[in-house]
């Protein structure tokens, strides 16, 4: 029982990170119908930005208060990553928006390769580590297999929950959210009704990248290490989470991320860590056989 509770905590922590990344996929797909395969590398780039800002604050500036340093790292990572994503949308995606459907997909793959190689050249191929933060543990049960909850796990789940609540409010209660929902239904009609479609899409990319930046900062806080190749695997798993939950559904992206994190963690604990990715993708395949739109997705209705 203790091992089950411990893996449940670990799975929810990992799933929270996947859920934040998955929201970026589902937002872009919901509005322009494109899978942004560069989003995983945007997440990786944000982790490096968070690492650099943290090292500057702690080693050059001499800031010794971890909560304040982490808050500044979060804000800086969101700002710089959002700016990167805005530039990517303007340069790589907007000119191809009216072309055939494969063109934006090819451009996204090319941007993914560009970001990965840029970080490899700029930071080198070796792992980059960050000094540990929030290392204290809360012991929930005693015994040979005691259940522990670290402060950084609490922080990851609390930040994820707060951001998801804030993002839900933005989509449901603000003018930008109404514009996003209008563009997701019919971009041409939204433009005729006065919605600035280009601005709405650009802000969607920026918001998705900002959430990925939070995931990147939480990722390096949790694992303490990042590599230029770390955009691929978490990106694919986050995309799997978005599809599992129903791509285009924001709650589905979060639920899918939590499920992928739990499946991966429990499989590694009870069976074999070598096949944890196989287990996650197998669950996705089985789900799509019986629910082609995902858990919370809606069947696509073709407009005529």
In a domain, 274, yes or no: no
For 236, the token pair is 């694919």
Instruction: Give this prediction's pTM.
Output: 0.90
Whether residue 249 lies inside any domain: the answer is no
With respect to residue 197, please indicate whether it lies within any of the assigned structural domains.
yes
Q: How many domains are contained in the chain?
A: 1
Domain for residue 243, yes or no?
A: no
Instruction: Answer yes or no: is 239 within a domain.
Output: no
pLDDT at 142: 74
Q: What is the pLDDT of residue 205?
A: 92
Cα four-point dihedral sign 230, 232, 236, 238: positive
Within-domain flag for 186: yes
What is the reported pLDDT for 300?
60
State which residues of the chain have pLDDT below 70: 1-2, 143-145, 298-304
Specify if 299 maps to a domain. no
Q: Other C-beta atoms within 10 Å of 17: how many?
A: 28
Find the domain containing 204 and state its range: 2-136+143-230
3-state secondary structure 102-123: HHHHHHHHHHHHHHHHHHHHHH
For residue 257, being part of any structural domain is answered with no
pLDDT of the residue at 217:
92
36: nearest Cα among 79, 87, 92, 83: 92
CA distances, 227 to each of 51, 129, 211, 223, 264 (Å): 11, 9, 20, 11, 21
At which residue do the structure tokens 């530039």 appear? Answer: 87
146: left (phi over 0), alpha (psi -120 to 50) or beta: beta
């Amino acid at each position: 029982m203790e091992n089950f509770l411990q893996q449940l905590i670990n799975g929810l922590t990992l799933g929270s990170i996947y859920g934040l990344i998955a929201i970026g996929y589902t937002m872009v797909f919901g509005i322009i119908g494109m899978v942004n395969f560069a989003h995983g590398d945007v997440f990786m780039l944000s982790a490096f930005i968070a690492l650099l800002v943290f090292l500057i604050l702690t080693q050059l500036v001499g800031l010794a208060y971890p909560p304040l340093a982490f808050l500044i790292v979060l804000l800086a990572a969101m700002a710089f990553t959002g700016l990167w994503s805005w530039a990517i949308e303007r340069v790589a995606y907007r000119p191809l928006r009216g072309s055939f459907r494969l063109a934006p997909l090819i451009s996204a793959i090319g941007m993914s390769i560009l970001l990965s190689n840029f970080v490899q050249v700029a930071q080198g191929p070796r792992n980059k580590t960050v000094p540990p933060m929030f290392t204290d543990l809360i012991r929930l049960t005693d015994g040979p297999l005691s259940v522990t909850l670290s402060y950084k796990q609490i922080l990851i789940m609390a930040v994820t929950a707060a951001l998801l609540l804030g993002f839900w409010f933005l989509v449901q209660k603000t003018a930008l959210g109404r514009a996003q929902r209008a563009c997701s239904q019919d971009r041409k009609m939204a433009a005729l009704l006065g919605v600035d479609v280009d601005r709405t899409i650009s802000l969607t990319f920026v918001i998705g990248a900002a959430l990925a930046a939070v995931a990147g900062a939480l990722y390096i806080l949790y694992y303490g290490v990042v590599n230029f190749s770390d955009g691929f695997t978490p990106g694919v798993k986050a995309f799997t989470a978005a599809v599992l939950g129903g791509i285009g559904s924001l709650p589905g992206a979060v639920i899918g991320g939590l499920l992928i994190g739990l499946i991966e963690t429990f499989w590694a604990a009870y069976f074999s860590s070598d096949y944890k990715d196989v287990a996650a993708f197998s669950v996705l395949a089985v789900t799509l056989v019986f629910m082609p739109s995902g858990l919370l997705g809606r069947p696509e209705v073709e407009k005529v």
